[in-house]
Amino acid sequence: MNSVMIGQYIPIDSWLHRLDPRSKCIFVFCMLILIFFANNVETYTLLLLVGLMGVALSRISVLLFLRSMKLIIWMILFTTLFHLIFTQSGSIVLQTPILTIYEEGVRQAAIISVRFILLMIFASLLMFTTSPIDLTDGLESLLSPLRRWRFPAHEFAMMMSIALRFIPTLWAETDKIIKAQKARGADFESGNVYRRVKAYIPVLIPLMISSFRRAEDLATAMEARGYAGGVGRTKLRVLSIRRADILLLVCFAIVATALFWMRK
């Protein structure tokens, strides 16, 4: 099956893996915001160092992080090019008959690229070191205060975990339908993009129909097992904030203070 799924959980043991998913979520979320406050070489260097420290602490191969960068390489190239061509202030760096590159353009391009890379590092850190179940549990717990404003935190987490549960099932089914359609002479490999996309319609429709049937079966099975929403439910999995989690949040506070002190 597809082992190169985006941001897939890497089940090994490390300091980051053992942290509570809630503290990791908060840390990463705050880091992502912090990235937008960095505005000079010092602050970006600081954030990059924090990111690299995280990579080291996760004990996950750097190659995997690089592979996740592949997803955003086109976005980086596009925005870089965009800034090089269209930003026209500061002194001229390079002048050719077709285009002129200004200093501000280079600066903006560099900033955007570093931001993208930082975003990807922190997001990958969270996804690589947190199992999907822990992630949904963590989100449910973090979002539960919003229940006061009628936000369906439990239902949201339940939906997410069911979706995760059915990804492999639906994937296997897609595979089966493709084979069945091929056996009936369907052609998925030739023709232009439009034709190839169109060839997948006879795969998607049976898949959708069977998904609805599955959803109905599952709802019946859940009801038969006494499911009646989040009220009065207990949980097998417990989350616990330990010393390491507090340490992580203290680290964030230090980084944030340092960043605001260093920025212009």
Partner 1 sequence: MKHIKSLIELSGVWFDYHPDRQMKEQWALQDINLTIQSGEYVVVMGPNGSGKSTFARLLNGLLIPTEGEVRVGDFSTSNGLGRFHIRRKVGMVFQNPDNQIVATTVRDDVAFGLENLGIPREEMIPRIERALEVVGLVGFENREPAHLSGGQKQRLAIAGVLAMNPEIIVFDESTSMLDPQGREEVRELMKELHQQGQTVIHITHSAQEAFLAERVIVIAHHRLQLDYPSRDLYNQSNLLEQWGLEVPLPIRVRALLKNQGVELNEPIGNSDEMVAQIWRYLSKT
Task: At 221, give phi and psi (nearest 5°).
Answer: -65, -40
User: One symbol per residue from 31 to 50: x for binding partner 1 (CB under 8 A), - otherwise; what is it?
Assistant: --------------------
Exactly one of 218, 246, 250, 253 binds partner 1 (CB under 8 A); which one? Answer: 218
The whole-angstrom separation of Cα 157 and Cα 133 is 9
Number of residues that bind partner 1 (CB under 8 A): 29
Exactly one of 4, 98, 193, 236 binds partner 1 (CB under 8 A); which one? Answer: 236
Minimal distance in Å, beta carbon 116 to partner 1? Answer: 31
**Contact 157/139 with Cβ under 8 angstroms?**
yes
Which residue carries 């339940």 as its tokens? 158
Minimal distance in Å, beta carbon 233 to partner 1? Answer: 5
Instruction: Identify the burial level of 16 via C-beta atoms within 10 angstroms of its C-beta, where 0-12 means exposed, 13-18 middle and 19 or more buried.
Output: buried
> CB under 8 A: which stretch of 102-110, 163-171, 174-182, 196-204 binds partner 1?
163-171
Is position 217 an interface residue for partner 1 (rule: CB under 8 A)?
Answer: yes
Is position 164 an interface residue for partner 1 (rule: CB under 8 A)?
Answer: yes
> CB under 8 A: which stretch of 57-65, 186-194, 211-219, 251-259 binds partner 1?
211-219
Which tokens in the block code for residue 233?
């439910």
Is position 238 an interface residue for partner 1 (rule: CB under 8 A)?
Answer: yes
The whole-angstrom separation of Cα 62 and Cα 70 is 13
Is position 207 an interface residue for partner 1 (rule: CB under 8 A)?
Answer: no
**Contact 23/249 with Cβ under 8 angstroms?**
yes
The whole-angstrom separation of Cα 43 and Cα 36 is 11
Which tokens in the block code for residue 10?
């890497």
Nearer to partner 1, 187 or 223 (CB): 223
**Contact 124/10 with Cβ under 8 angstroms?**
no
Is position 161 an interface residue for partner 1 (rule: CB under 8 A)?
Answer: yes
Exactly one of 5, 6, 162, 244 binds partner 1 (CB under 8 A); which one? Answer: 162
SS3 66: helix
Is position 133 an interface residue for partner 1 (rule: CB under 8 A)?
Answer: yes
SS3 112: helix
Is position 175 an interface residue for partner 1 (rule: CB under 8 A)?
Answer: no
**Contact 105/80 with Cβ under 8 angstroms?**
no
**Contact 165/149 with Cβ under 8 angstroms?**
no
Exactly one of 169, 182, 241, 260 binds partner 1 (CB under 8 A); which one? Answer: 169
Exactly one of 168, 246, 253, 254 binds partner 1 (CB under 8 A); which one? Answer: 168
Which residues make up the interface to partner 1 (CB under 8 A)?
Answer: 132-133, 161-162, 164-165, 168-169, 172, 213-214, 217-218, 220-228, 232-238
